[in-house]
Structure formats: structure tokens, C-alpha cells
Amino acid sequence: MRRIRHRRQISIRRDDHIGDLLGAIFLDFSPARQDSIIDRLSEYLGPRVRIIKAEMSPECADVEVEVQALVEEGARLAAAANDLRIKGARRNALAMFRQALELDPLSRTAALGLGTLLADMEQYDEAIQTLKRARETGASAGTSGAVAEDVELLLTLGRVCMRTERTASAITYLERAFEIDSGNFAVRRLLAELGRKPRPPMRAPAKDQTSSAAPAPPANKQH
């Protein structure tokens, strides 16, 4: 089957790549380094992903790409693999998730399912890399174009980082999850285990009705 070209928007965050080769692009993204940054991103994303443009900030690289993929076929295979994972057929699910990513290298569903399965199988290093890719591809984009965050994905990343003694990364992911959903019990419990007590999100101050100025009385008409 012929693969179809699709355009995607992905967000590569600095806090996912602290200490690795890709993370170096955030240290200096001056125009003079643009070609080397594109080369580094292309190497990271793989040969079937073509970069159209990349916008850099100190915290994130927003990258528009074109990918050669069989999206619908990959989605069906990823859904079937998720069913197998839930039923406990790990080996079959593992193979199907990998096939789904062959069909669509930027499938968030396949990356998230595979990363979760690898974490369950205690293959933590590969799990972290796969979950990061799921975070980068995102579930959806908001009106600003920013990729929406997923609390459960951040929670899973936090758990895996805790198990591999990546404490600083675990705190980063869990505090971000807390910012999105401060009532999530699992997030609060893991932060407590790490000795963190995050502050609740700031609420906008309520308007003081008593201090509002009363409307001025209408001016007397001149006769």
C-alpha cells in the first residue's frame, strides 16, 4: 500500500531532553545554528518525517512536519493492540504496537500504548523514550496551536522516572500534571512520596461588589 503524506504539528519540549543530544538545541538557537538544529531534529524524528519549519523558544520547539504514513491502518492496529494489552496479551500487543508505528511513525495512540506496555513490562528506558514521543505528538491542538497536555501520560512518565531514580524529571512531570488537574489523587500521592507539596493553582480574585463605584445619578436636565 502506498503511504500518504500528512502534515502534523509536534512540540518538542526542553524538559524531555535535558542531558541528551537533542537537548543541546535549546542552549543556542541563534540563526547561525538553524541548519544544524534542523539536522538534529531530522535525525531525531527519522527518515520518514520531513521538517517544514521549526519555531524555537527556550522551552519548546514547535515543529511542522510532513510524514509518510498509513494513518487509518495504523490507528486500527493500535486500537487492536490496546485491546490485547488490556486483556493481558502483552507479547502480541507489543508486536502490534510496533507494527502500528511502522505504519504511522507519529501515531500518538500507538506510542502511548507501547510506552505504557513497556512500563508494565519494566522495560523502563524504552518506555520513557516512547512516552516522550507520545507527549510530543500530542492528542490535539488548542486555538493557540499548542499541543494539549495529557495528565495520565504525565503521570505515567512521572511513575517511570521514579522507578528509574530520575527524581528531578519525575518532579517536573508530576508538577505539570498537578497544574492541569490539582485534584488528581495519584498525582498528589506521588508528589508527597517525593517530598513535594505543590501550591494549589492561583485563582483570580473575586470582584469586590461593595467597593464597586455606584453609577453616577443622571444629570438634571436644563429647561
Identify which of 127, 147, 193 has the alpha carbon closest to the alpha carbon of residue 9.
147
Domains of the chain, by residue range, sit at 4-69, 149-199
What is the band of 179 on the pLDDT scale with cuts at 50, 70, 90?
A: very high
Q: How far apart are CA 85 and CA 165, in angstroms?
A: 26
- 73 or 198, which is more confident: 73
Query: In this predicted structure, what is the pLDDT of residue 148?
Result: 61
DSSP string, 95-133: HHHHHHHHH-TT-HHHHHHHHHHHHHTT-HHHHHHHHHH
pTM above 0.85, yes or no: no
**What is the per-residue pLDDT across 51-86, written as a single tens digit (0 to 9) for each?**
999 999 999 999 999 999 999 999 999 999 999 999
Buried b (16+ CB within 10 A) or exposed e, 185-204: eebbebbeebeeebeeeeee
Per-residue pLDDT, averaged over 101-130, amounts to 96
Per-residue pLDDT, averaged over 153-169, amounts to 96
**What is the per-residue pLDDT across 206-222, written as a single tens digit (0 to 9) for each?**
544 443 333 444 544 44
How does the average pLDDT of the chain come out, rounded? 86
- 1 or 38, which is more confident: 38
| Out of 23-27, 144-148, 172-176, least confident range | 144-148
**What is the per-residue pLDDT across 142-152, written as a single tens digit (0 to 9) for each?**
333 444 688 99
Identify which of 145, 208, 172 has the alpha carbon closest to the alpha carbon of residue 16.
172
Cβ atoms of 33 and 40 within 8 Å: the answer is: no
Q: How far apart are CA 41 and CA 53, in angstroms?
A: 11
What is the band of 15 on the pLDDT scale with cuts at 50, 70, 90?
A: very high
Q: How far apart are CA 133 and CA 13, in angstroms?
A: 10
Query: In this predicted structure, what is the pLDDT of residue 170?
Result: 96
Structure-block grid coordinates of residue 69: 504514513
What is the band of 200 on the pLDDT scale with cuts at 50, 70, 90?
A: low
